Chains A and B, each alone.
Chain A
Amino acid sequence: MKKNWPILVVDDEEVMCESMAAWLREDGYRVDTAPNGQKALDLAKSTDYVVCFIDLKMPGGMDGIETMMEVRRIRPEASVIIITAYATVDTAIQAMKEGALEYIVKPCNPQEISMLVSRIMKFKKLESENAILRKRLTRQYRHHDIITKNPRMEEILALTQEIASLRSTALIRGESGTGKELVARAIHFSGNRSEKPFVVVSCAALTETLLESELFGYEKGAFTGANGQVKGKFELADGGTIFLDEIGDISPKLQADLLRVLQERRFYRVGGNQEVEVDVRIIAATNKNLAEEVRQGRFREDLFYRLNVIEIPLPPLRERREDIPLLAEHFVQRISSELDKDVGGISAAALKVLMAYDWPGNVRELENVIERAIVTCRNGTLDEQDFSWLQQQSPSTQNWEVPDVPLDELERRAIVAALERKHGNVKEASAALGIDRSTLYDKLKRYAIAH
Chain B
Amino acid sequence: MNALYVVAIGSVPERALQWAEEAAAEWLPLPLRRLQALAIPETAYDTKRRQYQSVEIMKMLAQSAPRDAIRVLGITEADLAIPALSFLFGQAQLNGPIALVSLCRLHQEFYGLPADLDLLRERTGKEVLHELGHTFGLTHCSERECAMSLATHIEGVDAKSDRYCARCGLQLVERFASL
Contacts and interface: CB of A to CB of B under 8 A. Distances in A.
Contacts of A108: 84-86
Contacts of B54: 19
Contacts of B140: 26-28
A19 B29 contact: no
Interface in A94-114: 106-111, 113-114
Interface in A405-435: 419-420, 422-427
A113 to B, nearest CB: 7
Contacts, number: 125
B81 A107 contact: yes
A18 interface: yes
Given A22-B93, A437-B29, A450 B82 contact: no
A424 B82 CA distance: 32
B170 A26 contact: no
Interface string B75-105: 0000001111111100111100000000000
Interface majority SS on B: helix, strand, loop or mixed? mixed
B116 interface: no
Given A27-B150, A107-B86, A109-B152, A424 B166 contact: yes
Contact of B26 (A20, A83, A111, A425): A425
22 contacts: A16-B82, A19-B55, A19-B83, A20-B84, A26-B139, A26-B150, A28-B140, A83-B84, A106-B84, A107-B82, A107-B85, A108-B84, A110-B86, A110-B152, A111-B153, A423-B166, A424-B166, A424-B168, A425-B163, A438-B29, A441-B176, A449-B174
Nearest to A85: B83
A434 B31 CA distance: 20
B94 A107 contact: no
Given A15-B83, A110-B85, A424-B173, 12 more contacts: A18-B55, A107-B83, A110-B87, A110-B88, A111-B152, A114-B150, A420-B170, A423-B163, A424-B170, A425-B26, A448-B178, A450-B174
Contacts of B67: none
Among A19, A28, A113, A427: residue with most chain B CB under 10 A? A19
Interface in A10-24: 13, 15-16, 18-20, 22-23
B165 interface: yes
Among A15, A25, A426, A444: residue with most chain B CB under 10 A? A426
A2 interface: yes
Contacts of B139: 2, 25-28
Contact of B29 (A23, A28, A109, A440): A440
Sorting the interface of chain B by its residue count into under 10, 10 to 19, 20 to 34 or 35 or more gives 35 or more
Interface string B24-36: 0111110000000
- Shortest beta-carbon contacts, A-B, top 6: A424-B169, A28-B139, A19-B82, A111-B152, A441-B29, A423-B166
Contact of B49 (A22, A107, A441): A107
A448 B29 contact: no
Contact of A445 (B164, B165, B170, B177): B177
A58 B19 CA distance: 44
Given A15-B55, A16-B84, A423-B165, A22 B174 contact: no
A451 interface: yes
Interface in A56-83: 83
A123 interface: no
A126 B135 CA distance: 31
A447 interface: yes
A113 B150 CA distance: 12
Nearest to B87: A110
Contact of B53 (A15, A26, A420): A15
A16 B83 contact: yes
Contacts of B94: 22, 25-26
B27 A450 contact: no
B177 A444 contact: yes
B12 interface: no
A106 B82 CA distance: 10
A424 B85 contact: no
A439 to B, nearest CB: 10
A13 B173 contact: no
A426 B176 CA distance: 11
B84 A113 contact: yes
